[in-house]
Structure 1
């Protein structure tokens, strides 16, 4: 990892000093197995995430990183193994319960943001609040404040197609954080961005998560992005391996 300690300090991240890994995990996966046809995407993977902790899941393409994130966030159910969030077994939860968790206590950010193209940035960010019962006025006021926080308030009236990649991704981060989630799952959030935009996105994500005490599970293949995390979990061929193992 080459990202400097000074930069990580300025971003509010890195090094694990702000949030030591102690106490019971908020989110834990043990022995996860997930297959797609003949392909074993996960082969007994285990990982833990504590409140306020930022963990980077790294590994080469095809190592199972995104599948692990999808299992942890309840998007995909594992074929075997367990996922526990705040004492609740997610692999046993109903689809309705998982949907509620993703709307209230989980925030998810994907590589390309996946903002709804027909909505403005402001309405994209307001949508989770309205789905949770907030009025349109309340939701838009909160969304406007979050866009300002991420430095894209001036783009609030734009649809995703009229925004730069970095602007759209920061709007996606605002959408993921607007409900005050306990955990944010970020799947290659800088993968489609240039280095400057990637730094802006990571600074925004890590700084906001630190301030709110939000745990972050960050999937990335980029060592510069992983350097923002408190610690790193390396996947290879669907299993967790000691850091630095290359074969």
Structure 2
């Protein structure tokens, strides 16, 4: 990170799931337009960290500040609004709505924001084209390949012009070729639109697409992998 004020910053995050401590004082910063990879083994707390940063769950301790707003203190209504307009989220298995076509899945965030159907469909089509799945508008998730579905998920995450996209193991369910194509499309589109990306992954090849990489182990974040080994 430079000396500029980060777009998103967390300090001292702690989060328990029952008796398990998923986060133990994690701190992290994301700059505007930056692509940051958070890597770590399965069970290290990566998804919990993403959920706290995106305002999906509240940490038990610590703070999350986005654009000078304390996400951990905002009411749920405001958090939901941010997730509709300024945040985009991509999960490992896409989580597309099975009954909707690709076009309607991508248009849905716009429709929820009050955009008229014709305009929402027009913009959704433009984003499907950016991700290389133009011509697949009428397909439903069950009719798509894994790579197609993930591209549609990314188009949906970016269609509202968010400031931050949170991508949780976005290539985890794909083969290496499809994963490479999806990551290339995501990075190119994020660069083009100036969107910051927080990328959760256990794959070094996926992390290589990022501007910067940090490591998470047992709920603690470090920019030095060897420091984690010493600390533990």
TM-score w.r.t. structure 1 length?
0.90
CA distance in 2, matches of 1:119, 1:233: 37
State the shift of 1:21 in Å. 3.6
The equivalent of 1:62 in structure 2 is 43
The equivalent of 2:82 in structure 1 is 101
Q: What do residues 53-87 of structure 1 show as CA deviations (whole Å, max 9, x unaligned)?
A: 01000000000000000000000100000000000
Alignment length, in residue pairs? 228
CA distance in 1, matches of 2:194, 2:123: 19
The equivalent of 1:163 in structure 2 is 144
* 1:243 maps to 2:209: no
State the shift of 1:173 in Å. 0.2
* 1:85 maps to 2:85: no
Name the SS for the 1:74 alignment partner.
Answer: coil
Within the candidate set 209, 212, 215, 1:231 is matched to 212
* 1:76 maps to 2:76: no
State the shift of 1:243 in Å. 1.9
Within the candidate set 89, 113, 137, 2:94 is matched to 113
CA distance in 1, matches of 2:99, 2:60: 36
Name the SS for the 2:115 alignment partner.
Answer: coil
CA distance in 2, matches of 1:107, 1:77: 18
* 1:218 maps to 2:218: no
Cα pair 1:22 1:50 within 8 Å, conserved:
no
Name the SS for the 2:129 alignment partner.
Answer: helix
Cα pair 1:21 1:53 within 8 Å, conserved:
no
* 1:196 maps to 2:165: no
Q: CA RMSD in A?
A: 1.0
State the shift of 1:22 in Å. 4.1
Name the SS for the 1:205 alignment partner.
Answer: helix
CA distance in 1, matches of 2:88, 2:3: 23
Q: Which runs of 4+ in 1 moved over 3 A?
A: 244-247
The equivalent of 2:113 in structure 1 is 132
CA distance in 2, matches of 1:21, 1:172: 31
Gaps of 5+ in 2: none
TM-score w.r.t. structure 2 length?
0.96
CA distance in 2, matches of 1:24, 1:243: 25
